[in-house]
Amino acid sequence: MYPAAFDYKRPESAAEAISLVNEFGDDAKFLAGGHSLLPLMKLRLAQPTVLIDIGRLADLSYIRDAGDHIAIGALTRHKDVETSALLRQHVPLLADAAAHVGDRQVRHRGTIGGSIAHADSASDLPATILALGAKLIAEGIGGRREIPAVDFFKGFLESALLPDELLVEIQVPKMSNAGWSFLKFNRRAQDWAIVGVAAWRDAGNCGVALVNMGSTPILATSVVRAIADGASVTDAAALACAEAEPQSDNNATAEYRTHLAQVLVKRALETCSR
């Protein structure tokens, strides 16, 4: 199908993008990789009248060592996250999660900022940055602000970003020597996750978040607490769905999703604990 008609703007800088979105207001949408927005527009589930194409803002595409964390520009493509030596060394969980996104074509177009701003609970990266306790940097007409990942995902396809704010940077803490595991359960290699788990563990500290187990990515706080309290992996994994609100769809009923999440959390924690 074809999208409804729209106007197209291509700003040269982040500042110009922000001023454009202020000019056009609610009718405008940022276009990054287009791999979430354009499918919705083709099905006419989204009908923005102005697209502000930020896809070529080179100054928003970078991966930098910032001491205790790695700073990633919002326009960085999944492919660059996947193959970054810096991330492979300091935040391997995120690089591996990026490698699980869609297929090659998708990873070459889609951006980390687009994926997070879109706030789809079925996406791989939102849960991953949640498990890692990342910070999101948003920029609006009044300047920059910092949003912790736990406060970012508000509801189904809903984030803490204001309509006229641009997500500019993702700050991910270094993992030092933590064990980690990203497990994605799907039917075909390039599919979205039916259920996914992003987990890391460093002795009694750990982070566990679930993909597609509710309207937002889910932080499995009960599992984290249980591990901190010295529970076994099996006992902790049994609490995997304490915070989840899984839905039923063609691929899985809520009951089966619950079962899968428990199996996957157990397997992920076993890998992390090795």
Give the residues lining the site for another protein (CB under 8 A): 1-2, 4-5, 43-44, 185, 187-192, 194, 250-253, 256, 259-260, 263-264
In degrees and rounded to multiples of 5, residue 205 shows phi and psi of: -90, 140
- Sign, Cα dihedral of 114, 115, 116, 120: positive
167 binds ligand FAD (CB under 6 A): yes
Nearest approach, Cβ of residue 230 and another protein (Å)? 25
Q: Which is nearer to another protein, 152 or 192 (CB)?
A: 192
Query: Which of 11, 73, 102, 217 is close enough to bind ligand FAD by CB under 6 A?
Result: 102
Query: Which of 86, 99, 106, 137 is close enough to bind ligand FAD by CB under 6 A?
Result: 106
Query: Which of 69, 79, 90, 118 is close enough to bind ligand FAD by CB under 6 A?
Result: 118
Nearest approach, Cβ of residue 188 and another protein (Å)? 6
Which residues sit opposite 257 in a β-bridge? none
- Token pair listed for 191: 């599919």
Query: 24 vs 18, 20, 93, 138, CA distance in Å?
Result: 10, 6, 38, 19
117 binds ligand FAD (CB under 6 A): yes
- Distance separating alpha carbons of residues 54 and 18, to the nearest angstrom: 10
Contact of residue 114 among ligand FAD, another protein, none (CB under 5-8 Å per partner type): ligand FAD
Q: Which is nearer to another protein, 30 or 192 (CB)?
A: 192
Write the burial class of residue 104 (CB in 10 Å: 0-12 exposed, 13-18 middle, 19+ buried). exposed
Nearest approach, Cβ of residue 273 and another protein (Å)? 18
Q: Which is nearer to another protein, 201 or 257 (CB)?
A: 257
List, edge to edge, every strand of the sheet that includes 7-9. Answer: 7-9, 50-53, 28-31
Tell me how far apart the terminal alpha carbons of the chain are, to the nearest angstrom: 49
Q: Which is nearer to ligand FAD, 55 or 233 (CB)?
A: 55
Q: Which range in 3-11, 104-112, 222-230, 263-271 contacts ligand FAD by CB under 6 A?
A: 104-112
Q: Whose CA is closest to 81, among 96, 65, 60, 103? A: 96
Q: Which is nearer to another protein, 72 or 194 (CB)?
A: 194
The number of helix segments (H) and strand segments (E) in the chain equals 11, 14
Query: Residue 46 has what DSSP assignment?
Result: -
Q: Whose CA is closest to 96, among 190, 177, 198? A: 198
Which residue has the closest beta carbon to ligand FAD? 110
Q: Contact residues for ligand FAD (CB under 6 A)?
A: 29-37, 39, 74, 101-102, 106, 110-111, 113-115, 117-118, 123-125, 161, 166-167, 192
